[in-house]
Each structure stands twice: as structure tokens, then as C-alpha cells.
Chains A and B, each alone.
Chain A
Amino acid sequence: MSWSRFLAVLIKEFRQVRRDRLTFAMMVGVPIMQLILFGFAINSDPKHLPLALVDADRSEFSRSFIAGLENSAYFEITERPAGEKEGDAMLAEGIVQFVLVIPPDFSRKLIRGERPAMLLAADATDPAATGNAIAAINAIGQRSIGRELAGPLASLRPAEQPFEIRIQRRYNPEGLTRYNVVPGLIGVILTMTMVMMTALAMTRERERGTMENLLATPAKPVEVMFGKIVPYILIGYVQVLVILVVARLLFDVPMVGSLALLSVVLVVFIAANLAVGFTFSTIARNQLQAMQLTFFFFLPSMLLTGFMFPFRGMPGWAQAIGEALPLTHFLRVVRGILLKGNGIAEVAPHLWPIALFMAVAGAVALLRYRQTLD
């Protein structure tokens, strides 16, 4: 490996990136945009869902229940249709997320101990949107109607549980999605931009006709690879810095762990992704194919690593794929460092899989790199 040739490629890459203003702006702009989208717009515990109420009972019980609903913050009564049919039409149109029908004889049957039913119809096309609200409604019913069943009616009250379960939400006491999502975004954004940039970096040489010239020079594969990878490691650091600053200022995400430790893990993680991108660039014939390969890698990284969906909720085969991806381990590390304040001892078990991935991807990239045009 020659220092001069490595520097030659490195400086050239830097100059090209700097000149490509749009790409450069995107590499800083995309993290900010994604942060804001995921931080503000994407919420897996939605509140104030619109509900159409058909209260045919109009009793103390129904009024108390309705008050309970409104207090829960999960529901907001936006419509009061005349009957069930009209309510169903609203649900079908998507005006409301729920239709609640309290039948006319609800309170009478309740007092007689006949276990009457009210109907909550939910638009469950997106289960994530309705899941928590549905879980909440039972508790609301017990609390509000139970309160009304006093005096002679106390015998109708459901028996209290003989014990209590106390739940502690650690590291994220308010259960804020963004505490989980924002550190994860560091990994997701790095995966996308790093793989894509390197995958494009080599295919661009091929497409623009500069590859032949580059191959005709004495530059060796290692020199070209490192020369092309190092600038993007620095760009990756800039991205992380942007994300951390925005996460701190806009979302108050706690950062209890060591940022120095995080930056060590970052090098390995970024290099792993760059090696993947470099491998792709040896396969793709043009920039479009390079983009497609990037997404081929990016999708499982989004879906199977515990970024979008809880890792432990996935079937075994999906977890196995997830374990092989560097993002899975990086997510554990970055959440551990930022939210839990993990140190080197807790981080190390997740660091070596990333390093192993990097070594394998780098070796494949170097093996596939052709020094000829055959």
C-alpha cells in the first residue's frame, strides 16, 4: 500500500464530494428531515382518536362512561350520529376511527345484572393506531361504571384484584417513542447514506468512463478502497453530530453514556456499511442498479433489526437474519450508551459482530474488485 496513491484517491474523493453541493446538502439535510419526521410525526401511541358516539341509553352510567372516555385522552368524541347505521357509514368513510354504540336498555340490564354489552367498532386497518386505545377502554369502563355502582348496587361491582402489579418504565419513564427512535435513527441514517454513497462512488467511475483511466494507473484495490471510504467516515461523523445536536435541542433525548465510547463504535459501524457499499459497487453495472442494491440491503435493516418493530416479537428466522445485520447490534449499543449509560463491558458483546461483519464485507469487496476490464 502506498501512502501517496492512497492520498491521491482520498483527496480526489474529497474534492468531488465537496463539489457535488446537492449530495453534500442531502447528507446533512436527510438526517435532520428524518429526525423531525420520526421524532414529531411518527408516534406509535396515537392519542385523540376521533370517535362517533351513539348514546341511546342516556343514563347516569352512560354519561359517566363517556366522561371517562374523554378524560383518557385516547378518544375524542367528534361526531354524534343519530343511529348505528350512520355511525358505521362514518367509520367506512374514515371520518372517525371508532364508533361506540350504547344500546337503549343498557342501564336497565346492568342493574338487573344481565351483563349488557356496548359495541365499540374500531377501524383496525392500522392495528398500531387502535391497539392502545382498545386496551385502554376496558380499564375506563371498569373505573367509571364501577364508581357508579355504589350502595345497593355494590354487589354488581367486579371483584377487585387481590394484588397489584406495579410497572416501572425504566430509561424512558414516560414511554416516549422518540427516545427509542431517535438514537436508532443514527444507525438507520448511517446505513442508508453510507451504503449508498460508496455503492455510487465506484459505479460512477464506471459510468462516467473514468474507471479505465483509474485502472490504468498503478493504484491498487486497497488504496482505492480506503481512499474512497475514509472521506465518508468523516461525513458519517458529521451526520451523527447533526443528529445528536438536533436530538438534544428538539427532543431532549437523554445522553447519559460516554460519547467517546459511541464514537469508537461508530467507526466500526460506518466502516462495515461502507464495505457493503463497496461490494455493491463491484456488482452494479450502473448507478440505478447501485441504488436498487442499496435498498435491497436497507429494507431488512429497517424492518428486521428492531428499529421499526420490536426485535423479540419477530419469528426465529427473522431474528436470525437480524442478528447478522450490523444495524441490529449497533441499535443495541447506541440505545444502551445514550439511554442506559452502558460502558465498554456491556457494549463489547455487540461490537464484535459488527467488526466481524465489516471484515467479511471488506474481504468480499477486495476479492470482487477487478483490476482489469474483463
Chain B
Amino acid sequence: MSAPAAAAIIDVHGLTKRFGDRVVVDHFDMRVTRGRIYGFLGPNGSGKTTTIRMLCGLLTPDEGEGTCLGYDIRKEAALIKREVGYMTQRFGLYEDLSIEENLDFIARVYAVEGRAAKVKATLERLGLHSRRRQLAGMLSGGWKQRLALAACLIHDPQLLLLDEPTAGVDPAARRDFWDEIHDLAAAGLTVLVSTHYMDEAERCHELAYISYGKLLTQGTVAEVIAGAGLVTWAISDGDLVALGHALRAAPGIRTVAPFGTTLHVSADDEAGLTAALAPFRSAGLTIKPIEPSLEDVFIALMQGASDNFTPPAQ
């Protein structure tokens, strides 16, 4: 763990955002230090995008304060924007401009030094130099994401805010993407990345899990798993489907999730598991205690969180 003295790139407290009378982000605290890759997880509609928008000055928090890159998120949004690369959840570049024109636009808006060379270098690094005249709208989803990431990096930002950058991208491209993120972090860039993928969560230095606007847990992968205090058993053999249905209704069981030919069953303690499984002992089950996975932890967290979902008012 980095020393507490290390420069906090993001340091916010009590961040709250309401839309109407619905609290979307509820007293959220976050501290991210330089060079860290910080994963931001949570179910759909939990407030990840809203939080990221508050960090870069696109939304004004209703309560709370803090700094981003040392600048006040309420008063110095203009300064923050210069040094942040924000990749929006939805493709945010111009589909009716070519790849090169998009990069050129971004480079001009950020007044990048040596613009033409920088754009050319970016195109070459992406392997898009031969297709630079192609319209951005014609690119496949994976290429759009690569282009969007390149556009965020063109002005050498200090902080990257990536909102689900790999949604819908194939595994090889995702791996390339994460290799690049780690290289950038090693060079001193700080990255906040939201994702729904567990394998990506495990690639982050630190994690935060948010549900219904509330921060439920944060720390390294090991800390998050340990902090949840779950006991998980992998059960194989026997009629797992029927067992799964029965266990979901059983008291004391936190999560039941099939993984291939095994069933992961988690509870707060061993006693709970033993009690819940007692009626099924005769069915010839093979039971093996395992380390709970991140997914087990997150599903357990999610089910524990209070449900304040109301359909968005139109």
C-alpha cells in the first residue's frame, strides 16, 4: 500500500448528487493516489457515471467537496478539464468526422504542442494511419474504443477517467487495453476505471464497490474479499439445479451461483452453511471449502444493499 503521504490525485468527501428527490450518489468518499489503477464497480444505475462526472466538473455536487489533481472540484473545473482525459460511456467523438479529423479536433481544443506530429504518432501507434480518412462512425465497436482512448491521451493528461471503456470489446482487445493502462500507470498516470467485468476488477490496484449511490467497500482485491467475511463452499455432483433453488430460499445463505459443474454457496459463517446444507447431506454431494471470488463478494454485497430503485421520472 502506498503511504498516506503520497499525493492524492482524487480526494473527495461526502459527495452527494440528487436528481429530483432521488439520491443517486450518497455521501461518497474516495481517495486515489498517483500512479494507481482504481477500479470502480457497481450494478447498473448505481451512480458510477454520475460520480465520474462530478469529479471532472460536468455535474455540480449537491453536497460534499474535494479536490481532483489538487484543484477544487466545485470552483476549478476549468483547470481540472485541462489535465483530465475523460472517456465517456457512450462513444463521444464525432461519427461524421474522419479518425484523423477527430484527433485533430481534440488536439486543437487542448492546444497540444506539435499537434500534427502528435496526431500522426497517435495514428501510427493505433495502427490506424492507413485508415485515417475513414469516418469514425464506420469503425467497429472495439476500434471506436481504441480511438476514444487515444483521443483521451493526446494531451498527456495526469488523470484518466474511463467509464466502462471495454464494454462489448473482445477478450484479446481487452487484454491489450489493460496492458496499455498498466504501462501508463507505471509511467505515473492515475486511472479511475469503471467496469462490470470481474477479471478487470482483479487487474486493478484498488477497488471501490458502489450500490444505490453508497460506497459499500473499498481496498485492494484481497482486502475487499477479506473484508466481506464470507465463507464459500464449492459443491459438485448431485442435482445442483434443484439444490440451488432450495438453497436460495434457505436462511443464512448469502449467495448461490453456479460455476460450470460446481455451485458456489456463500454464507456469513461456516455454521450457517452447515445448517443450510444439512437436509441435503444424503444426496451424495462433494463439498470443498474455497476462497470466495470477487464476484461472490459483490453479489453478496449487492443483495445486502437497500433497494431504493424507482423508475426514472420522465
A373 contact set on B, CB distance < 8 A: 53, 58-59
Complex formed: what's the CA distance from A374 to B77 in Å?
14
Say yes or no: is B42 at the interface (Cβ < 8 Å to chain A).
Answer: no
Point out residues on B near A: beta carbons under 8 Å. 53, 56-60, 77-78, 81-82, 84, 86, 88, 90-97, 101, 104-106, 108-111
Interface pair A208/B78, CB less than 8 Å apart: no
Interchain CB contact under 8 A, B92 and A212: yes
Q: Kindly list chain A residues whose C-beta atoms are within 8 Å of the C-beta of B111.
A: 2, 4-5
Interface 9-mer from A6-14, A269-277, A344-352:
A6-14
A160 within 8 A of B: no
- Assuming the A-B contacts A4-B108, A218-B110, are A210 and B59 also in contact, with contact meaning beta carbons closer than 8 angstroms in the complex? no
Contact A20 B88, beta carbon cutoff 8 Å:
no
Taking each of A20, A215, A371, A373, which has the highest tally of chain B beta carbons within 10 Å of its own beta carbon? A215
25 A-B residue pairs with Cβ-Cβ distance under 8 Å, sorted by A, are A2-B111, A4-B111, A5-B111, A8-B105, A8-B109, A11-B108, A12-B105, A15-B101, A16-B96, A19-B96, A209-B88, A212-B58, A212-B88, A213-B88, A213-B92, A216-B58, A217-B109, A217-B110, A218-B109, A219-B109, A371-B77, A372-B57, A372-B59, A372-B77, A373-B58
| A5 and B109 contacting across the interface, CB-CB below 8 Å | yes
Nearest CB in chain B to that of A4: its residue: B111
Q: Do B60 and A218 touch (CB < 8 A)?
A: no
Nearest CB on B from A130, distance (A): 51
Contact at A11–B96, with CB atoms within 8 Å?
A: no
Q: Decide: B96 and A8 in contact? CB cutoff 8 A.
A: no
Complex contacts, B59 vs chain A, CB 8 Å: 372-374
Contacts A12-B105, A209-B90 given; 8 further ones with Cβ under 8 A?
A: A5-B109, A15-B101, A16-B96, A209-B92, A213-B86, A220-B78, A373-B58, A374-B59
Q: Give Cα distance in the complex from A51 to B166, angstroms.
A: 77
A11 touching B105, Cβ below 8 Å = yes
Closest 3 CB pairs of A and B: A213-B92, A8-B108, A4-B111
List, in ascending order, chain B residues with CB within 8 A of A210's CB. Answer: 92-94
Q: B residues within 8 A CB of A19?
A: 96-97
Interface residues on A, range: 20 to 34
Smallest CB separation, A337 vs chain B (Å): 38
Residues of A close to B104: CB separation below 8 A: 11
Q: Are A12 and B97 in contact (CB under 8 A)?
A: yes
Contact call B58/A372, Cβ cutoff below 8 A: yes
| CB proximity of B146 to chain A, nearest CB, Å | 16
Q: Which residues of B contact A8 (CB under 8 A)?
A: 105, 108-109
- CB pair A216–B56 under 8 Å, yes or no, is yes
Cβ B96 vs Cβ A7 within 8 A: no
Taken together as a complex, chains A and B put the C-alpha atoms of A9 and B94 apart, in Å, by: 12
Cβ-closest chain A residue relative to B78: A218
Pick from A20, A208, A209, A218: contact of B81, CB below 8 A.
A218
Partner of B58, one of A5, A15, A16, A215: A215
Min CB distance, B105 to chain A, in Å? 5
**Complex: A16 Cα to B97 Cα, angstroms:** 7
What distance in Å separates the Cβ of A167 from its nearest Cβ neighbour in chain B?
57
A20 to B94, CA, bound (A): 13
CA distance A218 to B105 in the complex (A): 12
Residues of A within 8 A of B88 (CB): 209, 212-213, 216
Q: How many Å from the CB of B240 to the closest CB on chain A?
A: 43
Write out the residue numbers on chain A whose beta carbons fall within 8 Å of the beta carbon of B105.
8, 11-12
Does the CB pair B92–A372 fall under 8 Å? no
| Given A216-B88, A372-B60, A374-B59: A20 and B109 interface contact (C-beta under 8 Å) | no
Q: Which of A200-253 contact B (CB under 8 A)?
A: 208-210, 212-213, 215-220
The one of A5, A12, A219 in contact with B94, judged by C-beta atoms closer than 8 angstroms, is: A12
Question: Within 8 Å CB of B108, what residues of A?
Answer: 4-5, 7-8, 11
Contact digits for A1-38, partner B, Cβ 8 Å, 1 yes 0 no: 01011011101100110011000000000000000000
B94 contacts A16, C-beta separation under 8 Å? yes
A130 to B60, CA, bound (A): 64
Counting chain B CB atoms within 10 Å of each CB, the highest count among A2, A8, A208, A218 belongs to: A218
A208 touches B95 (CB 8 A): yes
Contact yes or no, B109 A15, CB < 8 A: no
A221 to chain B, nearest CB (A): 11
Closest A residue to B112 by beta carbon equals A4
Query: Residues of B contacting A215 with CB < 8 Å?
Result: 58
Which residues of chain A are near B86, meaning CB under 8 Å? 213, 216
Q: Closest CB-CB distance, B255 to chain A, in whole Å?
A: 35
The docked-state distance in angstroms from the alpha carbon of A373 to that of B105 is: 22
| A209/B106 contact (C-beta < 8 A), A5-B111, A216-B84, A218-B81 known | no
**Taking CB as reference atom, which chain A residue is nearest B50?**
A373
Residues in A whose Cβ lies below 8 Å from that of B81: 216-218
Contacts of A2 in B (CB 8 A): 111
